[in-house]
Amino acid sequence: MKRRILSLLVVLSVFLAGCTSQGHPSAKNGTSSEVTHSAHVENVSSEAKDTIRIASWNIENFGKSKATDPVRMSKIAETLKGYDIIAVQEISNVREQSDPGCPRNENACPGKRCHLIRRALEKYLNEAYGLHYKFIFSPQVKDERYLFIYNPDTVTLGGAELMEDPGDVGPICLSHPESTGMMVRQPFEAKFKAGDFDFILLTAHTSPKRNLEELNALDYFFRQAGSQGEPDVILVGDLNADCNYLRTGEYTALRGPGYIWVIPDDTDTTVSRTDCAYDRVIFGEATREDFTGRWGVVRDIPDNVSDHYLIWTEFWTDRDSE
């Protein structure tokens, strides 16, 4: 009997060791607030030098109120640190920078709100943690901006621009333009390289009122990005791709053959009581070889910081054959 009990204890200990969850990249021992999954068969350390982690986070209405609040900015910085690239949606500071041809902010700089978000991130993220993140803001697109945050020690930026929406009419920075085009907020595109892995990263924030139409439009933008000669295209962002905005069985071209959706439909990426997988990571077959299989959701987000959780995925930097 003792031998049987001892054998059971050994098996149980091995099982529990295999189920130990990974933590936030900046928290070596893990956190109970993060859900981490792995579809990859190899046991790869989260601190492996041949991988990078790309995160996406809708920081709800990220403007003056949060940028000037030390408590919330400290939480935002704590959540962001440790990733190699973070795509941020819903920057609401219209006067963050002067955009050529935009009557709403062409004289924003110099001014009190010029570079307000950038200065806050420099203070609470870079200065507080001794980091060197770079910040690339998109032009104003309707009432929001996108932002790419990247670590120049691990990733090289090859350029970034707001993708051209063929249906836009007039300045895209207007709250109510004559035509919003294929999307209210078209994707922000950047070219990155980490080790041997070069790729195009798109981030988008779809409009719930016309979500199915915009998800279909993202198929167009994805293909446009891939037509530049780089087959590795990764789309991340708040795509509202669940619940009332994308019901089970509804067709979207973005669900067609060749697209790989990393975040499963039964995942909750929202802080509120809703249980919806709004935030997604999507790439094509060419990028499958670069994906380690690891992804996660950081749930330790107070509702006064955002109504979305941060999501992340991990990629190899030494296996790209394209």
Phi-psi region of 80 (alpha: psi -120 to 50; beta: other; left: phi over 0): alpha
Q: Which residues lie below 8 Å from residue 219, measured CB to CB, with a gap of 6+?
A: 252, 253, 254, 256
Confidence (pLDDT) at 277: 96
Beta pairing partners, 192: 157, 199
The answer to whether residue 12 scores a pLDDT higher than 80 is: no
Supply 290's token pair: 């670069």
| Domains of the chain and any CATH numbers | 34-316 (3.60.10.10)
Residue range 43-61: mean pLDDT, rounded: 80
Q: Which residue has the tokens 């708040």?
A: 238
Count CB neighbours of 281 within 10 A: 22
Confidence (pLDDT) at 37: 61
Give percent above pLDDT 70 in the chain: 85
DSSP code, position 172: T
Task: List pLDDT tens digits, range 170-183.
Answer: 888 988 877 889 99
